[in-house]
Structure 1
């Protein structure tokens, strides 16, 4: 005899079956368009469940198209350790809100290699779904550099720019804004791990057709680099010859006068020898010759940085810069000097660039390491400034130990500048480790002599001379610690690291 099921039991069975189906079945919601973010920043790859089920008991697997190992695996209600490639370690995380069906992935410190298609896979006890999206990593390249060569009645002009991601577009225009036809554009991808794209293009141009021409390289209408050139036929050769002849005349005249002076053949020389000898140690150096288009930089030049005349061809830009860097002498700051005030900049930290377990304060002025440990892969995880330092002169101060507090001196720290993307070749920093002392990062463990415990550092970046100097602010004189010369050209960001050995902060001083 079959038992009879009453109406209430049937209703309960029906409700349970509906709830089971609704909890088992879901779909994945991902963006239709590509997700893009700047190189070195952080990005969130959106992925959610529909309906918004609680996914805390589900399996969530993030992977990249073409790679077997997952980037992140959430299983048994926790993110699994030691799973996936090392290149993603300490860079990926779930943003939370799993109970609302949000399984989005956060990827920090983007590199060009991170671009590509990402797959979001979610699995429950009886159901699974997946979705994919494309990540575009953007890198703004260098300002166009021009080369030119006469070709009969025309000028062959080449425009070059590097450091782009993805592949940029290049456009030539004349002074009236008209686009010039061009079919000679070439792209090259670097063989290094960064994989950035360089572009070059050339065209034949008649100087009589336009006052100047421009070369624009960019990713879209808002992310561009532009350069202009005045292609005057024969100008560079004539200017070079004129400069060379004038330099020879000045040099010859100076040599003759020097010989006559030493032989005592110049009138009144003998009566002024003692006064001349006394004044020689105080005579000011002649001003540096600068091109006509460098008026602004010449106006901003520091009075401590006057240089002797150095005659060079007008098209020898590279050698000129190297010559200036080798002659550069950093100023010695005193309480009476005003250059620190004149070039002082107010910097703030960019939390999106903070690596590892770094914690940035709410005012974005200080940073500390939350989990002091000797097991960290990097001795100096860092955070960068929001502000770009690309041209001119800049000065800022950093407190590496607050001696007014009860805390012991910082066991380690590192401050300086770097470019994006960050690499050891562009990092210029002064570092400290307890037991090893103070040293520049390019000369590991070559300690700098210092009789005082450094609590405040002053950093002076001279983009005109490609130099970075460090000062011990606690001293009032002879406080220069170290200077980097011949730094690579480019846009720099201030770098700050509190080390990984204690909880002490490194703070930017206003």
Structure 2
């Protein structure tokens, strides 16, 4: 028995350099994607019927624990390494191959993981001899879609692009308006705990830029790309109050005053120049033409407004005319979620922190409202603070299709699958679940978020309701019933509270008075 064990352990070394069967493998490394299947080609040349022989695929130094073991006309799992059970099989290296009859002993691996990368030995033996060869499998792991974030820096916008979960290291490409490549300001690679690569790059851009895209790829044609509209984002930007604003304003006023004085001097000089009267007449005609054009444009704008049945949203006061009071649906919620008796407050229980210690946002804590919308406009407000507490850092507010089931898989919570929301967590800050995801350059300490739904226009808008500031509008095409949904996150002292909007109660009071009158 001991002799047999020694032979098994030393067999690769004993047979090295003494092969009598011509085993061939691919010249280059085989590429396989994480989670997919791959075939490692291995064959005899010239061909030979090996259906009566022994076939063994194994990793380095694991001859006795093969990836696949074929003997007596069947694949057996008696010696097989446990991690490859139900994941390995003999395969054809090309569709027209006759398999073992022509010496094709290729291996198929399913559900690839990162540990599968490396060297595989292909070995065959029989009465006519033996042969072996080694091939390499590289596991290609595509990381997450890059997340773009924008920050104000002096008179420029610092756009950063970050993504994790790559293997091998990806290449990065920046483009303006999807066509013109440009070099970023910086690029940093790092390794995460799972040994996969993270990448972060940034570019300092003028606000005059329009659309900017960042794409990551290992092979061309298989990119992960994100795009941001600089013009839209720059309108949301408010530079920090560092004291420079006063001097910039003072300089602007002085410059305008100087330009005005120059203009007056030119005007007085030109007044007494030959041809002044003719120039004045021409100027008067031009002014009348401009007034007529402005009047035509104003009339056209009014006509267009009369034709559109849109819900106005110029201010929070006007938005509250479309207010609805949302009631939370307390049925079918997780035990880690607490909803008060009035069903307008939701928060995490103490057990939530114990049951969700891993990274990532706890999407499973989400709850829906009982209100549903199939037309018209609706507005509601969500408070993210409470007396003597700081504003919440972890929360989610949005809408979803009424028929959808909420789960904890972020990949299932996308607009294309019927979810639209604004979310905040300590890892990524405040972001929109657009495809790709966009981080918003707003103050993270939001206290009241206003949500405005325009079903017909397919718009979902978010507001800083306390400061009457529009944050972002998502555009889509709603179909079927849409319901609000919320998530209180984990670890904040403040709960998530749906505000009772006063305009609703006031209008109800007026209706009651009119009825009694």
User: Which bin holds the TM-score, normalised by the shorter protein?
Assistant: 0.3 to 0.5
TM-score when normalising by structure 1: 0.44
TM-score of the aligned structures, taking structure 2 as reference length: 0.43
Structure (1 or 2) with the larger CA radius of gyration: 2
